[in-house]
C-alpha cells in the first residue's frame, strides 16, 4: 500500500476512529481517500488496544494524529461493539479495564499523540441505580485529567447524560486543566452546560447529527446549540465509523465525509464554507499546537 506524505490540510476531522475493526478490510484506502481530500484527522482510542493502534496509525501517516485514553464504558464490563472490535457473534463482553497510568502515559508522550481520551462519563448505557459503575467511571476520568495535566495535552471528552457530574468533576479539578482544556466531543448538553464548559476552556466538536433534519421532540436541536457556541470554539468531527452524515446516512461513516459537516456548520453560522474551513483550522491550531508546527 502506498503512503501519502506532506499533504496540505484543508479540512479537519477532530474525532474519528480509523483504527477500529470497521476498517480492517480497507483502512489504507479509507485514509488515503480522506488525505486526497485534504482531511487531517485525530484518531481516538477507547481502551488499551485501540489507543495503541491509534498511535501506530498516526506514526504511519503524516496527516493522522492520535488521542489515547480509556472510554468510560470500558471502565466496566460492556457489550461487545462490532464496529470497534469486530466479530461480535463470537465475542465475550468487553472486559473491565482499570486505568494503567504508565501504559497510557507512555502513549501520551508520543509526539503524534495530541490529546488524552476519549475519557469522561457515560450514563446513557447504564441503569440509574448502578452507582458503583458511576464511581468507577468518575475515578478513571479523574486519573486521565491528571495524566493530561502531567503531559500538558488537552482532554478529548465523551459525555452522555452525565453533564452535571462531569462539570462538577472538571470544576473541582480546575487547577489541573490545561489551557485550552480540551474538546467536548459530540456535545449534546444544554446551553447552560455549554457555557460552563466554555468558561472552563473547552472547545466543541459537532458531527453528522447536525446534518439530520430537525424534528421537534425527536432530535436534539443542534442548530440552536451550534449557533450558541462561539465560532472560535467549534471544530468538525465524523466520529467514524459511527453515524454517517446526510447524504450517506445509514452507511459506514469515514473521515472523507467531513465536508458535509463543515458545510452544515457554515450554513448554521451563516458564513461561507471557505470561512468555516479556515476557522476550524485556526481552532485546531490553538488546541493542537504541535500539529501545524
Give min distance, CB of 15 to Zn ion, in A: 6
Largest Cα–Cα separation, the chain: 51
Give min distance, CB of 208 to Zn ion, in A: 12
Q: Contact 262/211 with Cβ under 8 angstroms? A: no
Per-residue x/- marks for Zn ion, 101-120, CB under 5 A? --------------------
**Cβ distance to Zn ion smaller for residue 7 or 185:** 185
Give min distance, CB of 44 to Zn ion, in A: 5
Query: In this chain, which residue has its C-beta nearest to Zn ion?
Result: 239
What burial class does residue 118 get, using C-beta atoms within 10 Å of its C-beta: 0-12 exposed, 13-18 middle, 19+ buried? buried
Q: Where would I find the H helices in 179-272?
A: 191-199, 222-228, 258-269
**Cβ distance to Zn ion smaller for residue 7 or 18:** 18
Q: What residues between 133 and 172 interact with Zn ion by CB under 5 A?
A: none
Q: How far apart are CA 127 and CA 224, in angstroms?
A: 29
- In the block, residue with C-alpha cell 459503575: 133
* Count, residues near Zn ion per rule CB under 5 A: 1
> Which residue, 178, 95, 111, is CA-closest to 144?
178
Per-residue x/- marks for Zn ion, 45-84, CB under 5 A? ----------------------------------------
Give min distance, CB of 128 to Zn ion, in A: 24
**Cβ distance to Zn ion smaller for residue 7 or 253:** 253
Q: How far apart are CA 42 and CA 159, in angstroms?
A: 18
Read off the C-alpha cell for 161.
Answer: 447524560
Give min distance, CB of 175 to Zn ion, in A: 27
**Cβ distance to Zn ion smaller for residue 32 or 208:** 208
Rounded to the nearest angstrom, the gap between the alpha carbon of residue 34 and the centroid of all alpha carbons in its chain is 17
**Cβ distance to Zn ion smaller for residue 122 or 239:** 239
> Which positions ≥6 away from 267 have C-beta within 8 Å?
none
**Cβ distance to Zn ion smaller for residue 185 or 196:** 185
Q: What residues between 230 and 289 interact with Zn ion by CB under 5 A?
A: 239
Give min distance, CB of 119 to Zn ion, in A: 11
Q: Contact 209/220 with Cβ under 8 angstroms? A: yes
Query: What is the contact surface with Zn ion in residues (CB under 5 A)?
Result: 239
Amino acid at each position: 500500500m502506498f503512503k501519502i506524505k506532506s499533504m496540505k490540510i484543508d479540512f479537519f476531522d477532530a474525532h474519528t476512529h480509523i483504527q477500529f475493526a470497521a476498517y480492517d478490510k480497507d483502512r489504507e484506502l479509507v485514509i488515503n481517500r480522506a488525505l486526497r481530500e485534504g482531511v487531517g484527522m485525530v484518531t481516538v482510542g477507547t481502551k488499551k488496544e485501540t489507543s495503541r493502534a491509534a498511535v501506530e496509525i498516526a506514526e504511519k501517516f503524516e496527516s493522522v494524529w492520535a488521542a489515547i485514553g480509556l472510554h468510560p464504558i470500558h471502565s466496566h464490563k460492556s457489550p461487545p461493539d462490532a464496529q470497534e472490535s469486530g466479530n461480535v457473534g463470537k465475542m465475550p463482553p468487553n472486559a473491565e479495564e482499570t486505568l494503567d497510568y504508565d501504559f497510557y502515559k507512555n502513549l501520551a508522550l508520543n509526539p503524534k499523540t495530541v490529546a488524552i481520551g476519549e475519557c469522561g462519563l457515560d450514563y446513557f448505557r447504564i441503569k440509574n441505580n448502578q452507582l458503583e459503575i458511576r464511581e468507577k467511571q468518575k475515578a478513571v476520568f479523574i486519573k486521565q485529567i491528571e495524566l493530561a495535566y502531567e503531559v500538558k495535552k488537552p482532554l478529548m471528552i465523551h459525555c452522555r447524560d452525565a453533564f452535571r457530574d462531569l462539570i462538577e468533576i472538571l470544576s473541582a479539578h480546575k487547577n489541573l486543566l490545561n489551557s485550552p482544556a480540551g474538546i467536548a466531543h459530540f456535545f449534546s448538553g444544554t446551553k447552560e452546560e455549554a457555557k460552563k464548559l466554555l468558561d472552563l476552556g473547552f472547545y466543541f466538536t459537532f458531527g453528522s447529527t447536525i446534518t439530520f433534519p430537525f424534528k421537534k421532540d425527536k432530535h436534539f436541536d443542534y442548530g440552536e446549540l451550534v449557533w450558541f457556541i462561539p465560532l472560535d470554539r467549534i471544530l468538525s468531527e465524523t466520529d467514524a465509523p459511527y453515524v454517517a452524515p446526510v447524504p450517506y446516512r445509514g452507511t459506514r461513516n469515514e473521515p472523507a465525509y467531513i465536508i458535509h459537516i463543515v458545510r452544515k456548520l457554515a450554513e448554521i453560522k451563516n458564513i461561507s464554507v471557505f470561512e468555516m474551513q479556515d476557522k476550524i483550522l485556526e481552532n485546531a491550531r490553538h488546541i493542537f499546537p504541535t500539529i501545524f508546527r
